[in-house]
Amino acid sequence: MDYVTLSNGDPMPMVGFGVFQITDAKQCEKAVLDALDAGYRHIDTAQAYGNEEAVGNAIAASGIDKEEVFVTTKVWVSNAGYENALRSIEESRKKLKKPYIDMVLIHQPFGDYYGTYRAMEELYRMGRVKAIGVSNFSPDRLVDLAINADIPPMVDQVETHVFNQQTEARKWMDKYGCRIESWGPFAEGKNNLFSNPVLTDIGGKYGKTAAQVALRFLLQKGIAVIPKSVHAERMRENIDVFDFRLSEGDMGEIEKLDTGTSLFVDHSAPETSEMFNRWEI
């Protein structure tokens, strides 16, 4: 496993296991146990996923020291604001069954996220949270928060894959010492990623799949990734990406796949703000 160093000096595993949309508790627990058995040591959940408790149960049942498993969760919009965030993060910590949460992110750039971030800074100083950051923040919102916060965000988890490589956004993340982390590294299979001829042809040279090439490309760019699967075989495949390195030519060919646009949601659209602000958990 490779690690990326956050601005506070702490390491974060570059490949994590995501549990988005795994809402059944037993299925989630099994998936996390399978992921830990496959070698994952970073589990990514969120308040809005409804499975923090299942993640905590799985880590406890695994027999692995809790301090060895890096856990990320995210504060949802309906829990935004200083007091709400303090309360909800403590609830998340109890569900995860950890003395502290390794990383807490603001899930969406809506609601009173400044109040949320102040709460996160306080918990960070107390040692109840080891790293803090944001998710889905565009460069303008990230820069505004970084300038006005006492502790600039350490991570921005954004949609990042071969078709949306976040090249411009990353320039601003780098300027403010914020690491980029990819959600949706497979673009959820959109644009036929798993059979893309560029990725499959490159994979053939290394005995790897298009999915493995897509992950390796991001990793070589210094981008942490959060792939998701409920199948143990696919989990093992997704973490088996450290025994090869793409050539400069390969990287260049994949860079040409970038469209610079989202395949999922436009966070700048007023309809998106309405949707997330009305989404209660």
The string of pLDDT tens digits covering residues 88-141 is 999 999 999 999 999 999 999 999 999 999 999 999 999 999 999 999 999 999
Q: Which of 115, 141, 144, 120 is nearest to 132 (CA)?
A: 120
Q: Of the listed 3, 40, 49, 117, which one is catalytic?
A: 49
Q: Which residues pair with 187 in a beta bridge?
A: none
The string of pLDDT tens digits covering residues 1-17 is 899 999 999 999 999 99
pLDDT at res. 33: 98
**DSSP letter string over 70-113?**
EEEEEE-GGG-SHHHHHHHHHHHHHHHT-SSBSEEEE-SS-SSH
Cα separation, 47 vs 5, in Å, equals 25
pLDDT at res. 53: 98
Is residue 49 annotated as part of the catalytic site, yes or no? yes
Q: What is the CA radius of gyration of the chain?
A: 18
pLDDT at res. 82: 98
In the block, tokens 């673009």 appear at 187
The string of pLDDT tens digits covering residues 190-233 is 999 999 999 999 999 999 999 999 999 999 999 999 999 999 99
Cα separation, 268 vs 263, in Å, equals 14
Q: Which of 119, 136, 95 is nearest to 273 (CA)?
A: 136
The string of pLDDT tens digits covering residues 13-50 is 999 999 999 999 999 999 999 999 999 999 999 999 99
First-to-last alpha carbon distance for the chain, in angstroms, is 34
Helix, strand, coil share of the chain (percent; to 5): 50, 15, 35
The string of pLDDT tens digits covering residues 131-181 is 999 999 999 999 999 999 999 999 999 999 999 999 999 999 999 999 999
Give the CA distances from residue 132 to residues 71, 103, 124, 194, in Å, rounded to whole numbers and listed in that order.
Answer: 12, 5, 7, 33
Instruction: Tell me which architecture the domain covering 10-277 has in CATH.
Output: Alpha-Beta Barrel (3.20)
What is the spatial order of strands in the sheet that 179-183 belongs to?
Answer: 17-18, 42-44, 70-75, 103-106, 132-135, 155-159, 179-183, 224-226
